Amino acid sequence: MANNDINRLRVVLAEKGLTNKWLAERMKKNPTTISRWCNNDMQPSLETLLDIANALQVDIKDLLWSSKK
């Protein structure tokens, strides 16, 4: 895991069989924003991360890489 990989959004979407486009429509966000989150080029706010977790029906912790080694 690279140091800049903070969220697991791409992984969770794949596990759920969902797409960036689906999440963009669900969150009413630009698809480019979702892509940047999935690529860890940019991070959503904590409030937005909670909204994403709710949309995906997962615990917010499932969207984050563990900082423990």
Residue 3 has pLDDT above 70, yes or no: no
Question: Taking the CB of residue 33, how many other CB atoms lie within 10 A of it?
Answer: 16
State how far the Cα of 51 lies from the Cα of 68, in Å rounded to an integer: 25
At 36, list the tokens.
């940047």
d(CA 64, CA 56): 14
Mean per-residue pLDDT over the chain, rounded: 93
Alpha helices in 1-69 (DSSP H): 9-16, 20-27, 31-38, 46-56
Instruction: Give the confidence band of 67 by pLDDT, cuts at 50, 70, 90.
Output: confident
pTM over 0.85? The answer is yes
Q: What is the pLDDT of residue 47?
A: 97
Q: Give the chain's domains with CATH numbers.
A: 9-59 (1.10.260.40)
Q: State pLDDT tens for residues 10-41.
A: 999 999 999 999 999 999 999 999 999 999 99
